[in-house]
Amino acid sequence: MPITPTPKIWMNGELVDWDKAQVHVLTHTLHYGTGVFEGIRAYETADGPAVFRLTDHIRRLFSSAQIMGMEIPYTVDELVAATKETVASTGLESCYIRPLAYYGYGEMGLNTLPCSVDVSIACWPWGAYLGDDAVEKGVRMKISSWTRHDHNTMPPASKTTGNYVNSSLAKVEALKAGYDEAIMLAPNGLVAECTGENIFVARQGKLLTPPISAGALEGITQNSVSTIAADLGFEVVVDNLARSDLYIAEEAFVCGTAAEVSSINSVDDRNILPPGHPRQGSPLRPLVRTRLLTPSIPHDPKPTPTQPEIRQDSFDPRTIPAGFRVLT
């Protein structure tokens, strides 16, 4: 999707002009794919932008860095504050947020130990990742010929820049074949996830999603969906899925920060049951999406236009919210 410039980008502790947020062509991560990143959304609310589960996203950034042996030179709280500062600087009511930690300029070669670690945070407007029709009409899925990483090859638990070459190959293959998105299988042939989303399948009152062991990234939106679905009375099961489970699903959808919650209407040209079909129960995705994207916000003083108040969700899986909670 095209990028719309915003006024500032946070780089190594300060806000710099968008056009001046530059790195050297010999930046280490540019050559070896050794950076870690997050994708976060801020949503428009009556009380100003609200960042969805910000602290959880930043904690996952640090987990990814830990897996890669990278030491980020900031604390979680410092990057949470930096994210709020960056969103506020854009003046946007809603936006996509991209924190990135990467090995910078000064060293070349596979040894990352002498490398410096740089951090940037950018924000820009972003609409429906899978297209405007994805929410209601759904997306056409293809099982990719590209296999998800094995845990001992490229750790899928780390949101590492280089890992997404695998996803990019699968995504482009699907688009060229006339599909909207790809579903990736683990090396053992079981369902892992999509190129950038977790996947859910509904059958007989149960909602199933693949485990981390299958190669799925531990999704933050996935966790929220699971909690909301349980609140709605559905049994949520984390278990292995075969590709045939997708073909006979009563309902299927994907979720992620970029994709939010989007329907699947077919997999390998096998149609998923349409709403109201005799073999389908009550459609779950619309209920989950409504809960997920309808924040419950306390009535605090409204922020000024020049410095909007950025607040984050303190989502606790042990407490079932009516939507995501946005707290000061």
Please identify every residue annotated as catalytic: 159
Task: Please state, in angstroms and rounded to a whole number, the distance separating the CA atoms of residues 131 and 123.
Answer: 20
The structure tokens 């605090």 sit at: 300
| CA torsion angle 190 194 198 204 (round to 10) | -60
What angle separates helix 220-231 from helix 54-68, to the nearest 10 degrees? Answer: 130
Nearest alpha-carbon partner for 257 in 92, 81, 108, 96: 96
Task: Please state, in angstroms and rounded to a whole number, the distance separating the CA atoms of residues 121 and 128.
Answer: 21
**Amino acid identity at 257:** T
Residue 80 DSSP label: H
- For 217, counting Cβ atoms within 10 Å of its Cβ (0-12 exposed, 13-18 middle, 19+ buried), the class is buried
- For 230, counting Cβ atoms within 10 Å of its Cβ (0-12 exposed, 13-18 middle, 19+ buried), the class is middle
Nearest alpha-carbon partner for 323 in 285, 282, 290: 290
SS3 123: strand
Q: Which two tokens stand for residue 271?
A: 């149609």
Beta bridge partners of 191: 185
Task: Please state, in angstroms and rounded to a whole number, the distance separating the CA atoms of residues 50 and 295.
Answer: 9
| CA torsion angle 38 168 30 72 (round to 10) | 20
